[in-house]
Chain A
Amino acid sequence: MSSWIHVAPLVLLVGGGLFIMLADVFAKERPELATVTSVALGVSGCVSLAALVSGVAPQTPAFLTSYLAVDKMALFFDVVICTGAALSTLLAGGYLREHGYERGEFYVLTLFSAFGAMVLARSVDLLSLFVGLETMSLGVYALVAFRRASARAVEGAMKYFLLGSFAAAILLFGSALLYAATGHTDYAGIAEGIAAGADPRLVLAGMLLVVVGLTFKVSAVPFHMWTPDAYEGAMTPATTFMSVAVKAAAFAVFLRVLVVAFGDPMSMSEASGWPPALAALAALSMVYGNFAAVSQQNIKRMLAYSSIAHAGYVLVGVVAVFRVGDEAISAVLFYLLAYTVSNALALGSLILMGSKGREAVSYDDLRGVGRRHPMAALPFVIGVLSLMGFPPTAGFFGKYYVFNAAVHSGGGMVWLALLGVLSSAVGAYYYLRVIVVMFMKEPEKGQVLAVPMRSGYVVTALSIAGLAVMELGLMPGWFLDLAVQAAQQLVA
């Protein structure tokens, strides 16, 4: 029984997805698909959280052992992914109806995509990595193209699809090379093979290709080109899902691959391994993401570039793993949870502030919204402050733990942490600029004013996300403790 509790969330999501497909075509009256979906996701997340807190010794079902991990980190990411997906579903419940896109496919795709993300976060084998990655990505490509009559949506989806599949193929070729070098496809077996003296050229090439493929998915510079286009083209609930669940799952598998498969002294060495390469990517992402975000006119594009910068911050934590193992991993886990709720809050309130034909997408649209509709603007302010890393919000502690881990690593990592803090200051400029525009600027004459929509779904999502942001900011200890437990189990 205790072994099944750990796969129950996965089964629940597939079952829920199939149920919604059937309900969508057979039900006479339009069922509340958003409710069903978010309940399924919420229950999955709660089951995982309960399993994580209760500390039931995970007994892996025998037939899964070789492909999916059943450990605390898997459960932690279940919580992150389910939270992100459930929040996007709730936002979709309001958004789709308001803008006239209410079709069941959205929820089915979200559920299956979240399932893929959870498989990805659990994968301990290159096979389950690939299958999880593609299950997640194919769903997201379709979600981006959901408004198929909109040239922007289709164009964003096209770019995302082409580059995403290209990256997946690169990752796959790297997997094949690693298999050829070591004779194993599971991470632990690959590590054994490397220790037993596999051809270092093949290993290095395979490692490089796998890391490049994963870097695409976390949208770090220089593999970020698709991010702003896909984020802008997609409907905002889909953007939310992409920016939180997809990113979290990609970082989860990144950690697993680096720690378990490439945890040997040579791959981790400062001279010839992955740490210096990833440190460079982290630095580039932080600097480029923040500076590019400054010049954006569209809020979603601004948030897309800021998400590239956030990928950089998380990568700082990922790199720190080579020195301070579990501290860095727990910092990354906490950061991803904090980013999930903060970004869902910011994007969700962007949905709330607009309505059909009177949307809030550019800085100009937001002029004076804060004064006209303070209640609709409040969640946006909290979300943006959290993304900025303003205490006492979730984002502050996320950044604090990550940079702390980097400082504890010593050496060049201290400089990386310093660069992170400095580029955050640039970030503060454009985040505060939105708030200034919302509260200090008056709309121009004759401008179409953004009018907040009314939706119980969106309000529910924002309340949950807002509470989570404040909870993580005021009492980070409880979740950090869970993250530390998960990290220690992975390193041990």
Chain B
Amino acid sequence: MLSVYLPVFLLLAVAALVAILMFTLTSVLGPKKPTPEKLLPYESGSNTTGASHLRLSVKFYLTAILFVVFDIEAVFLYPWGSMFRELGWFGFVEMLGFLTILAVTLVYAWKKGALEWET
């Protein structure tokens, strides 16, 4: 049943095998002389500061979520674009309505200060 996918599975298996092989070989065969400097995490040559679990400002959330919401709405533009001629004026007016609603919400978000970075 799954015979059509056999090459894919084969490739997966080979890729996994190669990766495992390379890691085991280097760790078994390679010479190891650990010094404190070598064990430090690399950060462009300078010493690391602070914890590695960096806290991101909650400000990113608002921007990200606005981006996602408006970005996803664009999904509806693609089918319309590909059927533009067949749908004609009706589709155009319909899309115009959709975009008007989006525009109003964008204006609203803007005036409410959701797009201000420094607040």
Contact = CB atoms under 8 A, between A and B. Distances in A.
A478 interface: no
A407 interface: no
A332 B55 CA distance: 53
B111 A18 contact: no
Contacts of A14: 101
A25 B111 contact: yes
A22 B107 contact: yes
Given A25-B107, A63-B90, A18 B112 contact: no
A180 interface: no
Interface string A1-39: 000000000000010001001101110000000000000
A21 B108 contact: yes
A241 to B, nearest CB: 21
A25 B108 contact: yes
A67 B108 CA distance: 30
B90 A18 contact: no
A406 B48 CA distance: 74
B63 interface: no
Interface residues of B, number: 8
Contact of B101 (A18, A26, A63): A18
A67 to B, nearest CB: 13
Interface in B66-117: 90, 101, 104-105, 107-108, 111-112
Most chain B Cβ neighbours within 10 Å, of A22, A25, A26: A25
Contacts of A22: 104, 107-108
A25 B112 contact: yes
Contacts of A21: 104-105, 108
Contacts of B112: 25
B71 to A, nearest CB: 18
Contacts of A63: 90
Contacts of B111: 25-26
Nearest to A21: B108
A21 B105 CA distance: 8
Contacts of B107: 22, 25
Interface in A41-87: 63
Contacts of B90: 63
B79 to A, nearest CB: 14
A63 B112 CA distance: 35
Contacts of B104: 18, 21-22
A207 B111 CA distance: 45
A12 to B, nearest CB: 14
Contacts of A18: 101, 104
A26 B107 CA distance: 10
B95 to A, nearest CB: 13
A25 B104 CA distance: 11
A75 to B, nearest CB: 23
A432 B101 CA distance: 49
Contacts of B108: 21-22, 24-25
A212 to B, nearest CB: 27
B4 to A, nearest CB: 22
Contacts of A26: 111
A57 B90 CA distance: 25
A362 B107 CA distance: 43
Nearest to B105: A21
B25 to A, nearest CB: 46
B103 to A, nearest CB: 10
A357 B16 CA distance: 67
12 contacts: A18-B101, A21-B104, A21-B105, A22-B107, A22-B108, A24-B108, A25-B107, A25-B108, A25-B111, A25-B112, A26-B111, A63-B90
Interface of A: 14, 18, 21-22, 24-26, 63
Given A25-B107, A25-B111, A25-B112, 6 more contacts: A14-B101, A18-B101, A18-B104, A21-B104, A22-B108, A63-B90
The 8 closest A-B pairs by CB, nearest first: A25-B111, A21-B108, A18-B104, A25-B108, A21-B104, A25-B112, A22-B104, A18-B101
